[in-house]
Amino acid sequence: MFWITFYAWEGTENMPVDGILSAFIAGTIGFIIVQGGIGTYPLMVGVVLTFFLAPEWLIDDPTTLELNDGKTMPAHIGFGALVWATQTLLIVFLGLLSLGMVQVNKRRLNLS
């Protein structure tokens, strides 16, 4: 699911494979830092996207996360937030679906 979103979002379809894997690893570290990755996951993924898609920020001012007009980094953090939200909603939906299926299966076993 993480890989596919890079090809679905305009501006990240040209992301190199090592950038996608780096963003995946950074997102994983974001989940480790804060349980559930709330806040840290989008920030970590956004930093990696900015590094690979707009590397001129290192030359301009390596101490700031804002780029040129201040719009690139927030857009990349927004991408990370979108990925995080869709993955979280998918996990919640599938968890509730499986809980319901377990109850239906349990009821079938009791009837037979």
Crossing angle of helices 17-33/72-111, nearest 10°? 70
Exposure on the CB side of residue 38, measured as CA atoms within 13 A: 2
pLDDT digits (tens, 9 = 90+) for 19-44: 999 999 999 999 999 988 889 999 99
Average of pLDDT values for 88-106?
95
Average of pLDDT values for 92-97?
97
Cβ pair 25, 44 in contact under 8 A: no
Q: Which sequence spans correspond to the domains of the chain?
A: 2-111
The one-character DSSP state at 14 is T
pTM of the model: 0.76
